[in-house]
Amino acid sequence: MEQQQMEVRKQRGMEIAKTSRIVKNDKGQWKVPSQSGGGHYIVVSNGFGAECNCPDHELRNCKCKHIWAVEFIVTKQIDQEGNVTITQTIRKTYSQDWKNYNLAQQKEKEIFMKLLSDITSRINNKTYEFGRPSNNISDTIYSMVFKVYSTFSGRRFSTDLKIAKENGFAEQKIPYNSMFRYFQKKELTPLLANIVAITSLPLKSVETKFAIDSTGFGTSNFQRWYSFKYGKEINSRRWVKCHFMTGVKTNVIPSVKITSEFDNDSPELKQLVNLISEHFEMEEVSADKAYLSQDNLELIEEKGAVPYIPFKSNNTPSGKGAIWKKMYYFFQLHNEEFLGHYHKRSNAESSVQMIKSKFGDSVRSKTWTAQVNEVLCKIICHNLCCVIMEMHTLGINPDFTTEKFFN
């Protein structure tokens, strides 16, 4: 068990080293960004040992992922007299297409409002023959997604919704209190999940390599229990777990599933892969060790893709199927080439960072259904932003008005 935990720390350290900017300050200390996006930790290394101020290292006195990350970006040499020389490696970076990025950012909101309207206007509104007329579903969905995009409170968002109605993007101006009630409707969850897939379709000719991961969105709900270890009451913030599959080129997310924080990752791979295979051609699928299983490898191969999921130290090829043995020997005999494919999974971390930095790392809703629907709205917003970016970068011209997406 301890060996497996150390392998996980090592793997996460490698991901941090690959995707984050680790710098050395004037005191010779390494500043390692937190994977959750909440600041950084300090690693002090003298070549023979290292200390970190993260809770994992301080509580367990173990080699944490931040120490691993520092080791991955330095080369340590010890001469015959015991002198240590540490050389920092240079992480390859890629230039930003600032012209198209600036254009996409300047026009994003205007284009977002139109694309979202093109999608929601295709929803068949339920008609009522008697009683008080309900808000139509298309405008309700438009309001819910646009509200999450704005990151405003319901009251402050009313102005944006008024502008959308004046520009013909919505027929009705949904009252904010009515909109909050719709967030709590279970029947809207599959509709929002369908829109997640729809918003990714303009990029199906671009994306063939995908990565799977999960992340959590904090809530305002707390769980309280008494810790015998520390002899005091401890409050823990509850969170919503989002399993997703993202394209490694544009960071678009074609398939997603929301579960409780207690659900494991591996069982969710099947649904994510099946959903994405309905619209996308897959060449590669990368995931971390949490998703490793015979069934998952076989499913990915069945869909025509190569599964790049690293093996654990105690795994063997015996008693397993053909794809398990094939990828096991590839991992063992051509490890560097295998990891070259696997580390495309780091783009999943980029997708998470894009969503949380732009639309928040927590949900405002109080009930479970509303929280699920709010996270789905965040993914829809993210996908539309990815499409808008590629409109300027790749010159794609998305058209959501010609297809019949909804029954």
On whether the CB atoms of residues 178 and 135 are closer than 8 A, the answer is yes
Q: How confident is the model at residue 101 (pLDDT cuts 50, 70, 90)?
A: confident
Q: Please state the rounded mean pLDDT for residues 84-112.
A: 70
> Lowest-pLDDT range, 24-33, 37-46, 107-116, 370-379?
37-46
pLDDT value at residue 145: 96
- CA angle, corner 139, sides to 135 and 145, nearest 5? 125
Q: What is the largest CA-CA distance in the chain?
A: 91
Does 227 have pLDDT greater than 70? Answer: no
- Tokens describing residue 164: 């959308």
Least-confidence region, from 72-86, 185-199, 237-251, 276-290: 72-86
Predicted confidence at residue 222, as pLDDT, reads 58
**Above 50 in pLDDT, residue 79?**
no
**Listed residue (304, 119, 308, 306) closest to 197, CA to CA:** 119
Percent of the chain with pLDDT over 70: 84
Per residue in 228-281, pLDDT tens? 555 666 565 678 999 999 999 999 999 999 998 888 889 999 999 999 999 999
pLDDT for the residue numbered 238:
77
Q: Is the pLDDT score of 396 beyond 80?
A: yes
pLDDT at 276: 94
Task: State the pTM of this model.
Answer: 0.74
Rg of the chain, C-alpha, whole Å: 24
Query: What whole-number percentage of the chain has pLDDT above 90?
Result: 49
What is the model's pLDDT at position 402? 75
The answer to whether residue 81 scores a pLDDT higher than 70 is no
> Which whole number is the average pLDDT over 77-81?
48
Q: Are 264 and 291 in contact (CB under 8 A)?
A: no
How much is the average pLDDT of 180-196? 94
Across the chain, what does the average pLDDT equal?
Answer: 85
| Residue that is written with structure tokens 């994992």 in the block | 56
DSSP for 205-225, written as a single string: TT--EEEEEEEEEEEEEEEEE
Least confident of 12-16, 350-354, 359-363: 12-16
- Span 122-133, pLDDT tens digits: 887 764 344 455
What's the pLDDT at 77?
A: 44
d(CA 363, CA 312): 35
- Angle subtended at Cα 271 by Cα 270 and Cα 273, rounded to the nearest 5 degrees: 65
- What is the rounded CA–CA span in Å between residue 404 and residue 119? 10
- As a whole number of angstroms, the distance between CA 254 and CA 194 comes to 9
Place of tokens 């720390």: 9
Cα separation of 73 and 70, whole Å? 5
Q: State the Cα–Cα distance between residues 282 and 275, nearest whole angstrom.
A: 12
